[in-house]
């Protein structure tokens, strides 16, 4: 390794090098050439890592120049505890971390491989931080985690980071050469800016402008119905999910709900949940890529289905015949082409008879008839009309043109036509010479109708009053119990000298719980790695029993409530009682300082499982890599199943200890060394076989079992339900459960038997395990011991139970960050 220092002074004196403050080497002034002093280190190892300074002989340290040498523990392009893993190709000056294999990106770049340049003056993991100065990041030095060290921001260099890059150079400290090809221009902040038709780091790959394929110029939909639109485009590179959008000129912009990609085109799928009059008019599908833009205009016509404005008319009747005119007038769009009238006697199981025409003659000797009719028209939905009201006909309504055509084939009607059914009941009483030519349903005398009506109303009223009184009594009893409970229970938290006293119920002498002590001086805080509303997690180096180790320190913020302090101390209590297990985050120790409690737990270098899964969605982060390797994830089926097996094993351990987790989800599972999954976040855990929640608070609704949602009851079997949802998260690479549904819809649909659909990349056996976890009756759900055995057996089978191959029309499960908060 060569350490090179610029000599800015003009004195003719020798140069002294120091290592960590001690004399190391002297460079004679005669060896200083081109105003640079060079120190060559041979066979560099970890002992050479440290601070090197250089100055004229005899000068104060204030006039020295400094440089820090960082020595990676692994050889170049290797990482891991045994240095046996290959680093990914870090671009734009990124450095591979020797512990976790991630690319540490220079200030001004982001992405899994540092492939994305931030805008000028921006930096950070997601390019969301900005330099506040008018000159951007000029004059600022950025120090990142080792082995990266410190540097200027992208586009600047020099001892004070005030010099812009020379022509042809870019990046942090201006160390990278653009080498742009095909008329690309070098930008000192981001590298090559390619001319139209070219892309790639050096503009070496050719582009082709996108082109929209086979889109209809006129689309129709029904008022108040859901409407789906697709827009397909080709090009190089293929348009990505965010590259295609729908616009209603000068008003609405729609983003695709999901996008499917194959080797030739990308297809974006859009959905308008409820068509209204404002959706009527001219729309445009717009595609933008590095290769250029394309757009296609189309007209969306929103039509109102026809419905009758008057009831059918009884034209004439005799002892053997009724003559009925089905439709007099109607409102809505589309002309009525033909009418089919169906009739049968009232209150019988006879099949419907039918007549086609604008008026119908019904011949029979029965007294009462029920009549319905169909309007064949150019409409996509089916309605039932009773009296003056309109509602959807129960057999279902047709949402798309393809569904419409299929329905028409089944009913032997020409394509582009469907049926409108309208139902009325008529009464025929022989012996009367006059009639009223309107629709009347005469089943019983008017007096009987009134008596029956009052009987029904009275019965309903009595029932409602009884239920209301019962609810009031239950509410009064519950409030009385809560008052007695609050008067007789006090939460007391005490921690001192390695003991924790957590009193939830009045006891004569609460038993203290012993925890391993850490000395405040033995904790060296580093970076904040997690933060919430009331607490934060900080990475630190701790010393325990004379051994230094990485740890995650959990602490509460100053304004945390009493409930937060109680839950936090409760988590320490749980960790102490659980002991050590390879598939849970284990306790290292705890420390009390100035009245605050600090809990040290194992450090998981790969963060939480949810973010880890989403980072593996390589089709979103690096489509070129995904297509080259034919994979949708950087993780294999075996690795995904191993995550599930690890969690099941950890939960089996918890259930044996009679602990209920209550918040089992991918976000609360951490990924440790060797990609071992470890259950974490025991703040809601309870050491009881059955726990009934009595307090209010935010609930993880999408992960909760039905008995927990309805009755606030938690058992190990409700944890099994949550595990089924976590298994779905793993298979979907971090998708949001029940994406697109509200919590209110879950409360309604889960008891009706609704469950999440099988992911397309999921084997039947894995999905069947999910369904077993989601059974209505808790006792029918499998225990964690059985789940663990099943998953380990799948692992041994070496079968691809989770298909990560980039099959045709592959799409990732949706992510809704706002929905995950509830």
Backbone angles phi, psi at 573, to 5 degrees: -60, -45
> How far apart, in whole angstroms, are the C-alpha atoms of residue 108 and residue 265?
32
Going by C-alpha positions, the residue among 205, 174, 206, 208 that lies closest to residue 191 is: 174
The annotation status of 179 as a binding-site residue, yes or no, is: no
Going by C-alpha positions, the residue among 20, 70, 80, 62 that lies closest to residue 45 is: 70
> How far apart, in whole angstroms, are the C-alpha atoms of residue 767 and residue 583?
23
Residue 546's region, left for phi above 0, alpha for psi from -120 to 50, else beta, is: left
Output b/e per residue, 43-73; b: 16+ Cβ within 10 A: eeeeeebeebbbbbeeeeeeebeeeebebbb
The annotation status of 534 as a binding-site residue, yes or no, is: yes
658 Cβ contact partners less than 8 Å away, ≥ 6 residues apart? 687, 688, 689
Q: CB neighbours (10 Å) of residue 703?
A: 25
> How far apart, in whole angstroms, are the C-alpha atoms of residue 777 and residue 448?
46
> How far apart, in whole angstroms, are the C-alpha atoms of residue 335 and residue 377?
6
The annotation status of 530 as a binding-site residue, yes or no, is: yes
The annotation status of 681 as a binding-site residue, yes or no, is: yes
Q: CB neighbours (10 Å) of residue 431?
A: 5
Q: CB neighbours (10 Å) of residue 142?
A: 19
Contact between 615 and 633 under an 8 Å Cβ cutoff? The reply is no
Cα atoms found within 13 Å of the Cα of residue 324, Cβ hemisphere only: 30
> How far apart, in whole angstroms, are the C-alpha atoms of residue 804 and residue 631?
6
- Active site annotation includes 294: no
The annotation status of 667 as a binding-site residue, yes or no, is: yes
The annotation status of 554 as a binding-site residue, yes or no, is: yes
301 Cβ contact partners less than 8 Å away, ≥ 6 residues apart? 218, 219, 220, 221, 280
One of 102, 663, 719, 763 is an active-site residue; which one?
A: 663
Output b/e per residue, 103-140; b: 16+ Cβ within 10 A: bbbbbbbbbbbbbbbbebbbbeeebeeebeeeebbbeb
Going by C-alpha positions, the residue among 402, 312, 404 that lies closest to residue 359 is: 312
Contact between 379 and 222 under an 8 Å Cβ cutoff? The reply is yes
Per-position DSSP letters for 665-702, written without gaps between them: SGGGEEE-GGG-EEE---TT-BSSSEEE--S-----GG
Is residue 371 within a helix (H) or strand (E), and if so which, with residue range? strand 368-377
List beta partners, residue 35: none
As to burial, measured by CB atoms within 10 angstroms (0-12 exposed, 13-18 middle, 19+ buried), residue 548 is exposed
Q: 213 is written with which tokens?
A: 């394929």
> How far apart, in whole angstroms, are the C-alpha atoms of residue 27 and residue 296?
70
> How far apart, in whole angstroms, are the C-alpha atoms of residue 737 and residue 703?
8
Length of the chain: 822
Q: Which residues are annotated as a binding site for ATP?
A: 530-537, 554, 667
The residues annotated as belonging to the active site are 663
Please state the residue numbers annotated as binding site. Answer: 530-537, 554, 667-668, 681
Binding residues for Mg(2+): 668, 681
């Amino acid at each position: 390794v060569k350490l090179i220092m610029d000599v800015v002074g003009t004195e003719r004196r020798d140069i002294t090098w120091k290592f960590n403050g001690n004399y190391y080497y002297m460079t004679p002034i005669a060896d200083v050439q081109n105003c640079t002093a060079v120190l060559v280190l041979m066979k560099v190892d970890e002992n050479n890592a440290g601070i090197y300074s250089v100055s004229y002989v005899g000068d104060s340290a204030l006039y020295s120049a400094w440089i820090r040498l960082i020595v990676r523990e692994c050889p170049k392009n290797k990482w891991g505890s045994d240095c046996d893993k290959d680093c990914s190709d870090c671009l734009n000056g990124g450095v591979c971390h020797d512990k976790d294999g991630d690319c540490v990106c220079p200030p001004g770049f982001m992405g899994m491989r540092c492939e994305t340049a931030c805008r000028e003056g921006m930096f950070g993991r997601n390019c969301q931080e900005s330099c506040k100065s008018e000159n951007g990041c000029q004059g600022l030095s950025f120090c990142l985690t080792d082995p990266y060290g410190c540097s200027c921001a992208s586009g600047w260099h020099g001892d004070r980071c005030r010099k812009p890059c020379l022509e042809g150079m870019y990046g942090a400290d201006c160390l990278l050469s653009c080498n742009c090809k095909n008329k690309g221009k070098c930008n000192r902040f981001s590298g090559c800016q390619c001319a139209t038709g070219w892309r790639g780091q050096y503009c070496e790959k050719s582009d082709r402008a996108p082109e929209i394929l086979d889109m209809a110029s006129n689309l129709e939909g029904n008022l108040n119905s859901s409407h789906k639109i697709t827009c397909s485009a080709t090009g190089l590179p293929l348009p990505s999910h965010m590259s295609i959008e729908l616009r209603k000129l000068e008003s609405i912009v729609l983003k695709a709900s999901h996008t499917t990609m194959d080797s030739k085109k990308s297809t974006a799928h859009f959905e308008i949940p409820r068509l209204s009059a404002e959706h009527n008019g001219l729309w445009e599908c717009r595609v933008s890529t590095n290769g250029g833009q394309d757009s296609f205009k189309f007209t969306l016509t929103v039509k109102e289905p026809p419905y009758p404005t008057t009831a059918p008319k009884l034209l004439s009747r005799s002892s053997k015949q009724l003559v009925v005119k089905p439709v007099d007038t109607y409102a809505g769009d589309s002309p009525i082409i033909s009418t089919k009238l169906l009739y049968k006697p009232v209150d019988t199981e006879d099949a419907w008879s039918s007549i086609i025409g604008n008026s119908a003659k019904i011949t029979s000797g029965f007294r009462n008839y029920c009549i319905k009719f169909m309007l064949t028209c150019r409409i996509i939905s089916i309605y039932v009309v009773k009296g003056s009201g309109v509602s959807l006909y129960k057999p279902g309504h047709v949402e798309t043109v393809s569904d419409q055509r299929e329905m028409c084939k089944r009913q032997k009607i020409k394509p582009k036509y469907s049926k409108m059914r309208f139902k009325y009941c008529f009464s025929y009483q022989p012996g009367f010479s006059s009639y009223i030519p309107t629709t009347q349903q005469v089943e019983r005398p008017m007096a009987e109708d009134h008596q029956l009506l009052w009987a029904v109303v009275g019965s309903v009223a009595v029932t409602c009053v009884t239920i209301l009184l019962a609810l009031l009594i239950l509410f009064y009893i519950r409030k009385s119990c809560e008052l007695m409970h609050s008067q007789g229970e006090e939460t007391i938290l005490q921690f001192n000298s390695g003991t924790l006293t957590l009193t939830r119920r009045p006891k004569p002498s609460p038993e203290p719980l012993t925890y391993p002590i850490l000395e405040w001086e033995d904790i060296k805080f580093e970076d904040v790695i997690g933060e919430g509303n009331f607490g934060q997690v900080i990475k630190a180096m701790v010393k325990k029993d004379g051994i230094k180790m990485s740890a995650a320190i959990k602490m509460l913020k100053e304004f945390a409530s009493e409930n937060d302090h109680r839950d936090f101390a409760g988590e320490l209590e749980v960790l102490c009682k659980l002991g050590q297990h390879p598939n849970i985050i284990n306790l290292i120790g705890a420390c009390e300082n100035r009245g605050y409690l600090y809990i040290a737990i194992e450090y998981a270098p790969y963060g939480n499982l949810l973010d880890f899964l989403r980072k593996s969605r390589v089709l979103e982060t690096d489509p070129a890599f995904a297509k080259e390797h034919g994979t949708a994830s950087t993780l294999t089926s075996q690795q995904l199943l191993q995550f599930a097996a690890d969690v099941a094993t950890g939960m089996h351990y918890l259930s044996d200890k009679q602990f209920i987790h209550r918040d089992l989800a991918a976000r609360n599972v951490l990924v440790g060394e060797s990609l071992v999954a470890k259950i974490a976040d025991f703040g809601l855990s309870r050491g009881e076989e059955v726990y009934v929640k009595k307090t209010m608070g935010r609930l993880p609704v999408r992960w909760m079992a039905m008995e927990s949602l309805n009755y606030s009851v938690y058992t190990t079997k409700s944890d099994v339900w949550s595990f089924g949802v976590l298994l779905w998260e793993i298979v979907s690479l971090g998708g949001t459960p029940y994406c697109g549904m509200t919590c209110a819809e879950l409360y309604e649909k889960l008891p009706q038997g609704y469950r999440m659909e099988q992911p397309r990349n999921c084997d039947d056996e894995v999905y069947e395990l999910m369904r077993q976890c989601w059974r209505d009756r808790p006792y029918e759900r499998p225990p964690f011991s059985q789940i663990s055995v099943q998953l380990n057996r799948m692992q041994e089978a070496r079968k691809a139970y989770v298909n990560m191959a980039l099959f045709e029309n592959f799409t990732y499960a949706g992510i809704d960050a706002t929905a995950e908060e509830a």
